[in-house]
Amino acid sequence: MNFVRSLCVFITFLSCIVISVHGQAAARPGPGSGTRIGFYSTTCPNAETIVRNAVTAGFSSNPRIAPGILRMHFHDCFVQGCDGSILITGTNTERTAVPNLNLRGFEVIDNAKTQLEAACPGVVSCADILALAARDSVVLTRGTSWPVPTGRRDGRVSLASNANNLPGPGDSVAVQQQKFSALGLSTRELVVLVGGHTIGTAGCATFRNRLFNSTTGPADPTIDPTFLAQLQTQCPQNGDASVRVDLDTGSATTFDTSYFNNLSRGRGVLQSDQVLWTDPATRPIVQQLMSPRSTFNADFARAMVRMSNIGVLTAASGEIRRVCSAVN
């Protein structure tokens, strides 16, 4: 018990995370968060199993849904809080915003919701399904697991214009800090959460401006020359902007610390990633996360619990959608 207590990290008003003797990150939401572990233990006891099975089935068919669902959860939480508004379809909804056009995995969330409505009608929110599915996606790519606090309700508003302030691929560290800080997240949590780029891909359009000389300057000198040539081959100057490139070269399907090692070698694909190494405000954090004593898995679990409690709707707020793509 003393061992557990000694590792307990109290984080503002949202949560306390404990690293258990089994190596799993255990999360306990604190006062005021409005969510808790086991929220559906009596009202829908198989909820987490149903979501996990749906994600596993989707992953078996297309492993790319794992980074897609993780990114979807980030984008949901960064716009009006974690309320499932990213899932709503229609003209000018969040899904139509440019940063969200390449999100994938919506069919997995819909599948889970269909099964949950059959088992426990009107009980489990789409926002909670997405939070659980993001955790399950990390596990399926060999990352850590953690208990996900649940009890969120679904939002009724989804506007593309609200997605304008999502973190972007060209953001400096200062801009990223401002965007994360506005949601109560620290610089360390920023670096840890961006470490989710250890899985997934990016389209050439999001970073090709770094690769070639232009009227505004030469190719980005922070890119390793060998890696620059590789990227130029994958994303030629007048080539297809939609071509996808691994964000974590050599390990894009495994949730691990190689992403941070790549940053140290000038092999960050996005400018917003590479500046985490070149900026003195974040470089020491990257160095710690890539070290043999890295705490990345535990830190990521902590940060995910914190992020997933941003702006949650609980109690009488919001609703429990019957289908995730439309308000009731």
CB atoms near residue 38 (< 10 Å)? 13
Report angle CA 312, 137, 56 to the nearest 5 degrees. Answer: 120
Task: Look at residues 208, 204, 201, 207 and name the one whose alpha carbon lies nearest to residue 248.
Answer: 201
Contacts of 254 (CB under 8 A, 6+ apart): 141, 142, 198, 199
Whether residue 193 contacts residue 303, with contact meaning beta carbons closer than 8 Å, is answered with: yes
CB atoms near residue 264 (< 10 Å)? 14
Does 76 appear as a known binding residue? yes
Phi first, then psi: what are they for 263, rounded to 5°?
-60, -40
Distance between CA atoms of residues 76 and 209, nearest Å: 27
Residue matched to tokens 């993780």 = 70
Does 206 appear as a known binding residue? no
Please identify every residue annotated as catalytic: 75
Does 32 appear as a known binding residue? no
Does 197 appear as a known binding residue? yes
The helix/strand/coil state of 217 is strand
Does 22 appear as a known binding residue? no
- Cα torsion at 318, 319, 325, 328 (round to 10°)? -120
Does 295 appear as a known binding residue? no
Does 256 appear as a known binding residue? yes
Does 67 appear as a known binding residue? no
Does 225 appear as a known binding residue? no
Please give the order of strands across the beta sheet that includes 25-29.
9-11, 15-19, 25-29
Phi first, then psi: what are they for 253, rounded to 5°?
-110, 5
Q: How far is CA 273 from CA 46, 170, 226, in A?
A: 38, 9, 18
Does 81 appear as a known binding residue? yes
Contacts of 289 (CB under 8 A, 6+ apart): 191, 192, 195, 257, 260, 295, 296, 299
Contacts of 227 (CB under 8 A, 6+ apart): 249, 265, 266, 267
Does 233 appear as a known binding residue? no
Residue ranges at the known binding site for substrate: 167
Residue ranges at the known binding site for Ca(2+): 76, 79, 81, 83, 85, 94, 198, 248, 256
Residue ranges at the known binding site: 76, 79, 81, 83, 85, 94, 167, 197-198, 248, 256
Residue ranges at the known binding site for heme b: 197
